[in-house]
């Protein structure tokens, strides 16, 4: 079997350097094994044509269709002034819709000869719009001819795999490359323990790989998919189960609150009762803090569900037990906001060592990058001596100079903004690993929590505290109904006249360098027609126009920290009527008197971001209003997304929609950098059952054999999944 390349054989040796280079650069495929795991996105039956009616804009697509007609036009242009320019327009159809193909210049000759009415072919290209019709310009195509010995039935019924492709490498070329390496599938080591595979009726891995790439029937595809989904879910859950197992072996100092300590004093003074959810989650956290291995808990709560209160009580419990707690916030605005609200909630309990401080008081210090040298020195000293029981800060907390007397708990706010390295660096500052509480206001569906945060236990706060008001949300479709925007500004004025305040959010600041404009625009950018609306321009236009006479100020990330803080203080004090801001206000900003939010170019934001922003209003007793302004046409995907946000306040429902639209990024955290997800077959939303069962099996197997000594093929699969970066990611998770 020497002729069969090994799975770790570089593609360069098997397919030649040119093809291998494109596969590496554009698809992240380097070895024979990588290519075998590049699964078809879908299958076409030659006799059945794809739905042209459902084509996504701006995406590279492969369609199987039949030529309806082809016309050659001549025209005059700057290059061919005498009317010698040639354009070939070919209309293809699939029964569900029609699509125009265009070829120009010398590129018309070959398709003019080959694409005759009645011809069937696969076409690949990027979908664009010309004169309000969908088209593919200069698509690559492959004619579908049945071999002489094939009967019409077998030809029409054959399943053609359509692979995720790029402009540089069409699906059928990937298919041909796979034909070359497919015999190597026999060499694939099976990571699933045999008892598990047989118990669940799953086919062996080599058979699954053959069936996914060369299925004879739809049943073959189903069998292969079921098996390959299990592989992905199981190997990932084994990685996470090993992480949890290793964490459970680490030592930590148990932290139990004193019955007459600062937590009890704080609880006695609370002017309101905690919600049932807050009490339940606090008990889960206190139980974790009392154990002798580190807590790793994810606290999910809807915007405004009172997560900060739960986190503060956990921090006070640790201070009671003689330790220190650190809260890490993603921005200075948010760190200052948390510091303000924590010291206000604690009153004289936050004045440890000061005149007027309560008996059990501790110090609450703020540490950010922009603090003056003297204030910073003071804060660092309070941390090193243990004088400060609670510190709230940005990533400035992670710097080498910062020393803690006895760090017992790390609270990370808005997990998705923090690199794992940063979380790890802060955890490294404890004498023993501190307990870890991660908070997020972005609701995460249960399956995603099991995969992305699979090494964390999860608590959910789903009740809103008493006194919270409902938020009405509406889409303002500027293109179809321009008068709606005028009405939106009237609504803002009405709210201000009632003594309330408003936010206006824009995607851009507006003082960007000209260099950004000078960059050559891609056709997609041109299609966007204009840059996103900017804070500085919008604020000026509003102050001169529809909101003239109101106190309008701006807030954005490039302002000096002191200026940002001053604006936020003035807004919180009611001295500003309308705050025009970027998404710096997205998390944690709490001004109960703000009742209306207008989000400009709302289609430029993601679903969960819109939900977060909306959560800034309706925080007091007056009802909130959120207006989503967009120029996108009614039928567009962007408008459907906005309609979904307007139709529900349920963050978990929205996070499902968000995930379905974005497709999962790389769930192991290489999300932003890689082009390819580590999950190729598993859909985190749809395959909840597989993930839950795989988690149970993985936990059982790791408990019995933590080093997987009895399962060498599983170890190999794990090593392949956890290349070095991902290994570190999980190490630090």
Note whether 552 and 539 are within 8 A (CB). Answer: yes
511 falls in which pLDDT band (50, 70, 90)? Answer: low
**Percent of the chain clearing pLDDT 70 (strictly above):** 81
255 falls in which pLDDT band (50, 70, 90)? Answer: very high
Q: Is pLDDT at 520 greater than 50 in this prediction? A: no
Tokens read off for 196: 């598990």
Tokens read off for 115: 């694409």
Bigger pLDDT: 60 vs 74: 74
Query: What's the confidence (pLDDT) of residue 668?
Result: 43
Q: Is pLDDT at 356 greater than 80 in this prediction? A: no
Q: Is pLDDT at 319 greater than 90 in this prediction? A: yes
How many other C-beta atoms are found inside a 10 Å radius of the C-beta of residue 395? 19
- 3 state SS for 531-555: CCCEHHHHHHHHHHCCCCCCCEEEE
Bigger pLDDT: 660 vs 288: 288
659 falls in which pLDDT band (50, 70, 90)? Answer: low
Q: What is the mean pLDDT of residues 463-478?
A: 79
Question: Alpha-carbon distance 317 to 408, whole Å?
Answer: 10
pLDDT in tens, 527-538: 345 677 788 888
CA Rg value for the chain: 30
In sequence order, what E strands does 197-352 have? 296-301, 324-328
Tokens read off for 538: 């919008």
**Residue reference for tokens 């290793």:** 246
Q: What is the dihedral of CA 399, 403, 406, 409, to 10 degrees?
A: -20
Tell if the pTM clears 0.85, that is, is over it. Answer: no
Tokens read off for 81: 């002034």
Average pLDDT over the chain, rounded to whole?
81
Query: What's the confidence (pLDDT) of residue 288?
Result: 95
Q: Is pLDDT at 498 greater than 70 in this prediction? A: yes
Quickly list DSSP for 411-461. Answer: EEESGGGS-HHHHHHHHTTSSSPPEEEEEESS---HHHHHHHTTTSEEEEE
pLDDT in tens, 222-239: 999 999 999 888 988 898
Question: Checking phi first, is residue 269 left (phi over 0); if not, alpha (psi -120 to 50) or beta?
Answer: alpha
Q: What is the dihedral of CA 642, 643, 649, 653, to 10 degrees?
A: -90
Closest CA to 651 of 608, 711, 591, 700: 608
Query: What's the confidence (pLDDT) of residue 98?
Result: 83
Query: What's the confidence (pLDDT) of residue 414?
Result: 67
Q: Is pLDDT at 614 greater than 70 in this prediction? A: yes
Helix (H, G, I), strand (E, B) or coil at 630: strand
Q: Is pLDDT at 671 greater than 70 in this prediction? A: no
State the Cα angle at 372 between 369 and 378, rounded to 5°: 95
Lowest mean pLDDT among 41-45, 118-122, 601-605, 719-723: 719-723
Q: What is the dihedral of CA 414, 416, 420, 425, to 10 degrees?
A: -20
Helix H or strand E encompassing 127:
strand 120-130
Question: Checking phi first, is residue 260 left (phi over 0); if not, alpha (psi -120 to 50) or beta?
Answer: alpha
Query: What's the confidence (pLDDT) of residue 489?
Result: 94
381 falls in which pLDDT band (50, 70, 90)? Answer: very high
Query: What's the confidence (pLDDT) of residue 223?
Result: 94
How many other C-beta atoms are found inside a 10 Å radius of the C-beta of residue 176? 13
């Amino acid at each position: 079997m020497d002729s069969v390349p090994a799975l770790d054989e570089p593609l360069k040796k098997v397919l030649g350097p040119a093809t291998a280079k494109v596969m590496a650069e554009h698809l992240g495929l380097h070895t024979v094994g990588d290519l075998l795991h590049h699964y078809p996105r879908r299958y076409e039956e030659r006799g059945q044509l794809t739905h042209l009616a459902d084509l996504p804009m701006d995406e590279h697509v492969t369609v199987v269709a039949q030529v309806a007609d082809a016309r050659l036009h001549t025209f005059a242009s700057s290059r061919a002034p005498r009317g010698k320019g040639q354009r070939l327009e070919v209309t293809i159809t699939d029964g569900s819709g029609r699509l125009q193909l265009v070829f120009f210049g010398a590129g018309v000759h070959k398709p003019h000869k080959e694409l005759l009415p009645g011809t069937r072919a696969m076409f690949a290209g990027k979908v664009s719009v010309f004169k309000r019709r969908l088209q593919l310009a200069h698509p690559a195509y492959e004619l579908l001819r049945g071999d002489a010995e094939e009967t019409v039935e077998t030809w029409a019924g054959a399943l053609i795999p359509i692979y995720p492709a790029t402009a540089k490498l069409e699906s059928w070329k990937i298919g041909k490359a796979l034909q070359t390496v497919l015999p190597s599938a026999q060499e694939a080591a099976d990571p699933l323990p045999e008892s598990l595979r047989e118990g669940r009726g799953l086919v062996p891995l080599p058979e699954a790989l053959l069936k996914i790439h060369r299925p004879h029937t739809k049943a073959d595809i189903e069998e292969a998919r079921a098996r390959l989904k299990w592989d992905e879910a199981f190997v990932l859950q084994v990685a996470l189960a090993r992480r949890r197992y290793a964490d459970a072996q680490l030592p930590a100092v148990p932290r139990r609150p004193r019955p007459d300590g600062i937590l009890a004093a704080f609880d006695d003074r609370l002017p309101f009762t905690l919600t049932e959810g807050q009490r339940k989650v606090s008990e889960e956290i206190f139980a974790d803090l009392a154990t002798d291995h580190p807590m790793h808990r994810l606290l999910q709560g809807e915007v405004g569900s009172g997560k900060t209160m739960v986190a503060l009580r956990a921090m006070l419990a640790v201070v009671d037990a003689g330790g220190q707690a650190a809260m890490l916030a993603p921005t200075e605005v948010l760190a200052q906001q948390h510091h303000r609200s924590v010291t206000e909630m604690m009153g004289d309990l936050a004045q440890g060592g000061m005149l007027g401080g309560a008996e059990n008081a501790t110090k609450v210090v703020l540490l950010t990058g922009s603090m003056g040298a003297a204030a910073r020195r003071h804060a660092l000293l309070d941390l090193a001596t243990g004088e400060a029981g609670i510190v709230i800060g940005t990533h400035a907390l992670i710097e080498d100079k910062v020393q803690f007397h006895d760090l017992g708990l790390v609270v990370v706010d808005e997990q998705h903004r923090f690199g794992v390295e940063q979380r790890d660096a802060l955890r490294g500052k404890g004498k023993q690993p501190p307990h870890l509480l991660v908070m997020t206001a972005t609701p995460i569906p249960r399956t995603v929590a099991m995969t992305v945060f699979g090494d964390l236990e999860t608590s959910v706060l789903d009740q809103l505290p008493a006194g919270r008001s409902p938020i009405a949300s509406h889409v303002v479709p500027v293109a179809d109904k321009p008068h709606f925007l005028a009405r939106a500004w009237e609504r803002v004025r009405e709210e201000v006249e009632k003594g309330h305040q408003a936010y206006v959010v824009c995607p851009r600041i507006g003082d960007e360098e000209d260099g950004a404009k000078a960059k050559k625009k891609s056709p997609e950018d041109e299609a966007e027609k204009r840059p996103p609306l900017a804070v500085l321009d919008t604020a000026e236009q509003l102050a001169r126009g529809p909101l003239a006479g109101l106190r309008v100020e701006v807030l954005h990330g490039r302002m000096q920290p002191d200026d940002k803080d001053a604006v936020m203080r003035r807004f919180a004090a009611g001295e500003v009527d309308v705050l025009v801001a970027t998404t710096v206000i997205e998390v944690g900003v709490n001004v109960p008197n703000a009742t209306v939010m207008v989000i400009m170019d709302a289609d430029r934001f993601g679903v969960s971001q819109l939900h977060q922003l909306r959560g800034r209003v309706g925080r007091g007793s007056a009802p909130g209003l959120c207006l989503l302004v967009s120029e996108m046409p009614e039928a567009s995907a962007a408008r459907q997304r906005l309609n979904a946000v307007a139709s529900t306040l349920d963050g978990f429902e929205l996070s499902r929609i968000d995930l379905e639209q974005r497709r999962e990024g790389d769930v192991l955290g290489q999300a932003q950098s890689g082009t390819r997800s580590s999950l190729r077959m598993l859909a985190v939303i749809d395959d909840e059952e597989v993930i839950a069962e795989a988690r149970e099996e993985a936990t059982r197997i790791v408990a019995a054999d933590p080093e997987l000594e009895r399962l060498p093929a599983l170890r190999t699969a794990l090593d392949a999944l956890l290349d070095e970066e991902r290994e570190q990611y999980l190490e630090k998770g």
